[in-house]
Amino acid sequence: MILDFVTSYAKLLVKNPDDIRVEIVSVGEGFDEITIYAKDEDVGKLIGKGGQMINSIKTVISGCKAKGGKNYRVNVKAIS
């Protein structure tokens, strides 16, 4: 559910939606790390001015945290 949401939302924001890749890695018990991979030119669009866009993604994910009980960390990384 989280993977599908983050992938589809990120694809709506960027110029190159086909290059978006999202991975979820379990870091510890009850804690997952979400990494969004995007082209260099799209990283800024995902983060947004002052981090507003990435914070909105984190806000929606925190609602899922309340339902599923997991904590999430979101990272954005550039690919060439």
20 near 7, Cβ under 8 Å? yes
Q: In this predicted model, what pLDDT tens digit does every residue of 25-34 receive, in sequence order?
A: 998 888 899 9
Q: Can you list the domains of the chain with their CATH numbers?
A: 2-79 (3.30.300.20)
36 near 20, Cβ under 8 Å? yes
The residue-averaged pLDDT of 49-72 equals 84
Residue 57 falls in which region: left (phi positive, over 0), alpha (psi -120 to 50) or beta = alpha
Give yes or no for residue 62 having a pLDDT over 80.
yes
Q: Length of the chain, please?
A: 80
Give the residue from 78, 63, 56 showing the smallest Cα distance to 12: 56
* pTM for the whole structure: 0.88
Give the residue from 19, 22, 17 showing the smallest Cα distance to 4: 22
Give yes or no for residue 64 having a pLDDT over 90.
no
